[in-house]
Amino acid sequence: MKSRKIPMRKCVSCGQKREKKDLLRIVNNKEQEVSFDETGKKNGRGAYICKSVECIDKAKKSKRLNILLDTEIDSEFYEKLKEYIQSV
């Protein structure tokens, strides 16, 4: 039996490929507003990250998201991300 195609995305921190639904999408829109995207439908430049505190902390330290999204992300945003993943 052929396996169904599941959209896979790569976490910016650990580089692991996962199903889209297991990752959190972070979007930088035209107004240079960075937000996280529960629906996966927001417009803008996006990056995916695991729903894990470890990966978020790693991304913060490495500034990978800043590079990928071409913007500055303040530490407050990372705190919000962590709050979010712990609430879902």
The whole-angstrom separation of Cα 84 and Cα 23 is 12
- Cβ atoms within 10 Å, residue 29: 15
The minimum distance between CB 34 and Zn ion, in angstroms, equals: 18
Per-residue binder mask for Zn ion (CB under 5 A), 9-38, x = binder: --x-xx------------------------
State the CB neighbour count (10 A cutoff) for residue 50: 21
Please say which residue, 11 or 27, places its beta carbon nearer to Zn ion. Answer: 11
Q: Is 69 in the site for Zn ion (CB under 5 A)?
A: no
Q: How many residues does the chain have?
A: 88
Among 24, 34, 47, 55, binds Zn ion (CB under 5 A): 55
Could you tell me the smallest distance in angstroms from the CB atom of residue 1 to Zn ion? 30
Contact 37, 46 (CB under 8 A): yes
Give least dist CB 39 to Zn ion, A.
20
